[in-house]
Structure 1
Amino acid sequence: MPKRPELDPELSALLAGMPQFPLLDRETLEQIRPYAAGPIESILEGRAVTRREVTIPTADGAEIPLTILSPPSATTAPCVYWIHGGGMVMGNRYSQIDIPLEWLDHLDTVVISVDYRLAPEANGATLIEDCYQGLLWISAHADELGIDPSRIVVAGASAGGGLAAGVTLMARDRSGPAIAAQVLIGPMLDYRNATTSSRQFSGEPGVWTREMNAFGWQSVLAGLTGDVVPAYISPAIATDLSGLPPAYIDAGSAEVFRDEVVTYAFRIWSVGGHADLHIWAGGFHGFDALFPAAPLSEAARETRTEWLARRLAKE
């Protein structure tokens, strides 16, 4: 196994105080799922936020929930469409919701989070199609929601970051809805799981290891027929990254996804696109969600917010 980059000292000390992360398989997945997201009520406490829950139809006739969180009297507000993480096998629309809620606090954005169906119960293109249906619904109801349809941002962390990238590709290829920017936080982009950083974080317990990553991808790809993996599911294999909205992309230096993130940004640049890339030295996967008060986490979150503020500023 290649030598790993060192962890940030503060993050390393915090991580050492946590229980060891279990291996991920079908049995442990059922044990972990109930703890993948806490209740949203405690996160909303003290915030000036209006909450609304809706259910929307999917392309195959199922229904999925959306949570709508709005600042007071939102009118023509920017919107962040949030897609949660969890390896595509766990989590819900409240997972990592504190990240976009900071944008609601500081930038007066409406935040809408989607509960897409999870693998392995759902697989193939189901997850990405669910997320796209949510984007279509937001665009169609922009006036009702008090949203400026020209300032819809698609954002997500980990698996949600990969799905956000896939939704952005899908919106480009299907001629809408328009996306103003994409924020991809430690995104899960490449089903091949074969980079140097993937190999660096294999064989030992960790927040998200190569073996966990393989389980997540196998759970999703089990529903595909033939040997073709659609780029909407695994954006790293997309042959064309031109014509995409500006992207903010970040990851830690000490995580599985580091190299696929760097490559994705490089490929956007190579076709003349806009990608703002940040690799946080010493950060492990999801460090800023797990320990938001750590100095490196605060820097990562503030830098994202500042970038988004510039992208959403009205001309």
Structure 2
Amino acid sequence: MHYRRAPEHPFPAALDDAYAVLVWAHEHAAELGVDPNRIAVGGHSAGAGISAAVALRARDRQGPPIRFQLLNEPGLDDRQETWSQRNFTDTPWHDRDRTSLMWGHYLGSGQATPDAAPARATDLSGLPPAYIAAAEFDPLRDENIDYAVRLMGAGVPVELHQWPGTFHGSQAITSADVSQRQSAALVGALRRALAA
């Protein structure tokens, strides 16, 4: 799906758009030939962070049920306080400076809230099961792992993978064996979640 993007459209535009799609898909499930109880949210990087925020919003608003969260290298925490954020400052494609720039564009002049940065949520209970993938040399790695652990601590079923030797977005190198395994794992997790 395409959502409005920052900096032209800062938070909450992207979240509002993604949540509107969830509501629309649930309301039109019969027309789409979709089981309204088997809808998943997911994405990569910023899209994965927005998907996590959609799950929080749906829970808090008693919105449409979400069966599963597929979060691939999600951007979850604007504070950038983890070890990986402090140390992966010059990694390929995505580094600390790009993360700072992304959050600045996304938040605009607004303040970070759990709707914008899901890692800020204090209560993660009642969320749908999740698959979370982290890259070893990614500034986002530790916040991905921490979010997975916090979900588990809140009673949410989680499958967590930290892919050795990878960096943020390296899955785009589709000829790499590890990229192929990452893609297969994502597809497999989604199939298992929606088949159950």
- What secondary structure does 1:178 align onto? coil
- What secondary structure does 1:149 align onto? coil
CA drift at 1:212: 0.6
1:302 aligns with 2:184: yes
Equivalent residue for 1:153, pick from 33, 36, 40: 40
2:68 alignment partner AA: A
CA drift at 1:205: 6.0
% same residue:
42
Equivalent residue for 2:128, pick from 231, 240, 245: 245
Equivalent residue, structure 2, for 1:125: 12
Q: TM-score, normalised by structure 2?
A: 0.96
Partners of 1:124 and 1:223 within 8 A in 2: no
Equivalent residue for 1:210, pick from 92, 96, 104: 96
Aligned length: 196
1:274 aligns with 2:161: no
- What secondary structure does 2:182 align onto? helix
Question: Which runs of 5 or more structure 1 residues have no equivalent in the other structure?
Answer: 1-113
Partners of 1:268 and 1:274 within 8 A in 2: yes
Higher normalized helix content (fraction of residues): 2
1:196 aligns with 2:78: no
**C-alpha distance in structure 1 between counterparts of 2:149 and 2:70, whole Å:** 16
**C-alpha distance in structure 2 between counterparts of 1:238 and 1:249, whole Å:** 17
- What secondary structure does 1:250 align onto? strand
Equivalent residue for 1:141, pick from 28, 45, 49: 28
- What secondary structure does 1:190 align onto? coil
Structure 1 residue ranges (4+ consecutive) displaced by more than 6 angstroms after TM superposition: none
- What secondary structure does 1:239 align onto? coil
Equivalent residue, structure 2, for 1:235: 118
Q: TM-score, normalised by structure 1?
A: 0.60
Q: Deviations over 1:44-89 (max 9, x none)?
A: xxxxxxxxxxxxxxxxxxxxxxxxxxxxxxxxxxxxxxxxxxxxxx
Equivalent residue, structure 2, for 1:260: 143
Partners of 2:84 and 2:142 within 8 A in 1: yes
Question: Counterparts in 2 of 1:84-123, with a 5 A limit?
Answer: 114-123=1-10
Partners of 2:91 and 2:137 within 8 A in 1: no
Q: Deviations over 1:276-307 (max 9, x none)?
A: 0000011100111x112211011111122222
